[in-house]
Structure 1
C-alpha cells in the first residue's frame, strides 16, 4: 500500500492543494477537502490542458482559420479519448452534455417505453424518467434481494430501460453492474448506469460488461469546466428528436423542414463546450494512467476513515446493503446529539475541513435511513492519510467536548456566531440576525 505509507502523500496534484483558509478562532490552516463527491477540484494536468488550448479557442467544425481547425481537432479527439476511457463498443457514440443531469434528461427523451429505477437514486437518475413512465423498485436489505426484486419487476411487465446508480452518491456502495446488465438484457430491456460517482473511482468497460448507456460529469472527474457525457448505443439517439433544435444538429434546412444529423451531432446543437470537452478528456487520460494505484490509494484511505468513525461513540456510518461487494471513497455518517449542518459548520469554521451535509439530492434514500440529513466525507486523488486523521480527531473532539464556538441556524444553514472569517464576516453583518431554534 505504498500510495499511503507517507501520511502526507496525495496520489495526484489538484488545484487548491496548498490552499489555506481562515479559522473562526483566528489564524489559518491548510484546507482538508472531503467534498470531492459534490465537485472535485481540477487536476493539474487538466488545468494545464485548458491553459494550452485557450489561445487557440475558436468555433468548431466549419471554420477555416487555424485556431478553428485546432479547436475542432481537439474537440473530436476528446470524444475519441472518452470512447477509449469507457471502452465503448462499435455501435456506441459519445455525446457531450453539460453534466450527468443533462445527459440523463437527454436519454429520457429517447427511451421508447417504461424505465425501471431504484428508490435510492440521486434525483438526476430519478426525476427525468417520470415523464416517460417510471416504475420504482424499493431496494431490499441486501444486494441479492434487490436484484431479485428487479428481476420480479422486469418479469411482471416489460420495460425499455433499467436505470441504476454505478455507486451510491450517499454511501459509495457499488452494484454488480455486469450481473444487472445481463438481467436487463434477459428481459429485453437496456441499462443505463449513472456513473457520476463511479467514473472518478473505477474503470468502466462498456464492451466487456455489455452496458448500453453510461453518463457522468466532468466536474466530478477533476475537470470542472462544464462538460458531461452520455455514451451508448446510437439507434435510440438517432431515432429521437434532437435534444436541442439549432445549428450543428442539422444537415439541411429549408423554410418548411429540417434534415437532422445523426448522433452525436444530432444532440449537440449550438456552439459546443470545446474547453470543457478537452478538460474532461485530459482527466480521462490521467485516470486511465492512475487506475490501479488510485483504487489502492482510495481503499486504504476509505478503510482508515470508516474504521476510525466506527470507533467513535455516537457515530453511525450509513450503509444500504449488508452484502454490497464494493464501495468507492464515500462515507456518510451521523453524530448523535448534533444536527448534520451544525457538525459541518463546526468542522469548517474550527478545523478548516470541508464535508457535505444534507440529503444529497437523494431524499427517498435518506427517508429509508429514518433521518432527515447526514454528513458525507468523500475522498479523491488529492486526499492524504493526514487529512483523514484530522477529520477523525475533529469528530472525536466534538463528541468529547462539543464545539468551542457558538453556532446558529439561519435559512436552513448553520453558521458560526459571530462569523469572523474574512469574506464571510461582512456578508453575515449585512444579513438578517440568525435564528437560534
Structure 2
C-alpha cells in the first residue's frame, strides 16, 4: 500500500516541473485497420471536430488525480490543493486569451455549445449573426437576425454595418474562423464595427484558438467561447470568457449548490462571478487539462506553427485542386488568412462514400456531411454535403500526400459515385 503525503506547495509544483515545450500528441504512432486486414499509420484530418490530447495535458491530469477532491468547500488538504489547481486553471486560461484584466469572468462549461447557450440567457436584446455560423452559434439565439454573406469580406462587413445601423442589437455573434472553409474573419474590424453601433461582440473561437493567438482585450472582444477538445485537451470542458455585468445580472445557468450564496425556505441569494453559472461539482480535471494545453501553446513559437501549417495547407489545397472535377469551398473571393481546414466536393461523387474509401483503403480520417453549418453549405451550393480535411499539430507532408492520392483514387472509383433518386 502506497502512502501519499500531500503538501499543497509541493503538490502544486508538479505541474511546473513538466516540460511545457513539447507538442507530442498521445495518438502519435496510432495504427488503424484497413479493409484488406492490414494496418497502417493513421493520418488524422479530423482535427476540426476533435483533436487528440497533448501528452503534456495527459501528464497534468495524471498528476492531479492522486489529490483530486471537491473544490471550494472542502477543508481537507486534497480539497485545498484541488481548489487551487482549479482556480489557477481559470487564471491561466484568462492570460492565454488576453482577458486577465478586472471586469472579465472565465466560466467553465462543457464545450463551446454549452458556453453559447449560457450566454444566450444573458443577452438583453437582439443578436446579429452571419449565415456562415456553426449551429452552436446560430440556434441558441432566440432573437436572431441573420445576415447573408457577400462576395468579399469587406462587402460582408458592409452588410453587417447596414444591419446594425438599421436596427439596434445587443450583440454581434460571429465565428473567428469558419469550421467549413477555415477562412478567418477580421476580428478587430468586427469589434470596432459592433461597438460603433452600440453592440457588443462575441467570437466563437472554437476553430480559431487552436491555430492563432487571440488577445481578447487588445482586439476589443467582449465575449469569447472555446472548447478544450479542439485545443488538444479532450476532457469535456469549454469556456465562456467575457464582461462581468451581463453574466452577473443573468439568472444562474444551473440552479443548485455552488451557484447559491445563501438559501432559505422562501428564497435564495445567488453568487456573482463565475460561481453563479457553475452550479454543481465542476469538471476540475477538464479545467486542468484545458489550462495545460494553454500553457503548452503559450510556450511555443506560435508564428512558426502558423508558418508550418500554412505550408501544409497550401500543399493540400494545390494537390486537391489539381484533381479534375474537384472544387474546394470558399466563402469569399478575396484573399485572407485561412487556418488549416479545406473542404471540397467532387462532381458525381458522394461525400460519405469518399470519406469511407479514404478510411478503408488509405487509413485517412476526414469528415463528411454538412459540419453543423447547414445554411452555409446551402449558400455554397452543397446541400448534399462535402468532405472536410482539417490539419493539426500531428499533420505531416506524408499525410498530405496520402490524402491527395486517396482522393485521386476515390474520384474514379464506382463505389464513390453519387446515387440518383431512382437508385
For 2:48, the equivalent position in structure 1 comes to 37
Contact 1:114 1:160 in 2 (8 A): yes
The Cα offsets for residues 214-234 of structure 1, whole Å up to 9 and x where unpaired, read as 001011110000000000000
| Alignment partner of 1:212 out of 222, 234, 239 | 222
Instruction: Please state how far the C-alpha of 1:408 moved relative to its aligned partner.
Output: 10
Q: How many residues align?
A: 398
Q: Say what the alpha-carbon RMSD is for the aligned residues.
A: 1.7
Q: List aligned pairs for 1:91-110, cutoff 5 A.
A: 91-110=103-122
Is 1:183 aligned to 2:193, yes or no? Answer: yes
Query: Once superposed, which parts of structure 1, at least 4 consecutive aligned residues long, lie more than 6 Å away?
Result: none
Q: List aligned pairs for 1:315-394, cutoff 5 A.
A: 315-371=326-382, 372-394=384-406
Q: TM-score, normalised by structure 1?
A: 0.89
Instruction: Please state how far the C-alpha of 1:293 moved relative to its aligned partner.
Output: 2.1
Instruction: Please state how far the C-alpha of 1:90 moved relative to its aligned partner.
Output: 2.4
Instruction: Please state how far the C-alpha of 1:17 moved relative to its aligned partner.
Output: 1.5
Q: Measure the CA separation in 1 of the matches of 2:378 and 2:303.
A: 36
Q: Measure the CA separation in 1 of the matches of 2:71 and 2:250.
A: 24
Q: List aligned pairs for 1:108-257, cutoff 5 A.
A: 108-129=120-141, 131=142, 133-257=143-267
Q: Which runs of 5+ in 2 are unaligned?
A: 1-21
Q: Which runs of 5+ in 1 are unaligned?
A: 1-10, 413-435
Q: List aligned pairs for 1:13-28, cutoff 5 A.
A: 13-28=24-39
| Alignment partner of 1:396 out of 385, 402, 408 | 408
The Cα offsets for residues 277-327 of structure 1, whole Å up to 9 and x where unpaired, read as 000000011111222222112111111111111111111100000125211
Is 1:302 aligned to 2:313, yes or no? Answer: yes
For 1:69, the equivalent position in structure 2 comes to 80
Q: Measure the CA separation in 2 of the matches of 1:235 and 1:364.
A: 32
Is 1:48 aligned to 2:48, yes or no? Answer: no
Q: Give 3-state SS (helix, strand or coil) of 2:181's partner.
A: coil
Q: Give 3-state SS (helix, strand or coil) of 2:118's partner.
A: helix
The Cα offsets for residues 378-421 of structure 1, whole Å up to 9 and x where unpaired, read as 0001111110011011112223x426xx5799xx9xxxxxxxxx
The Cα offsets for residues 159-180 of structure 1, whole Å up to 9 and x where unpaired, read as 0000000000000000100000
Q: Measure the CA separation in 2 of the matches of 1:186 and 1:362.
A: 29
For 1:270, the equivalent position in structure 2 comes to 280
Q: Give 3-state SS (helix, strand or coil) of 2:212's partner.
A: coil
Q: Measure the CA separation in 2 of the matches of 1:389 and 1:90.
A: 48
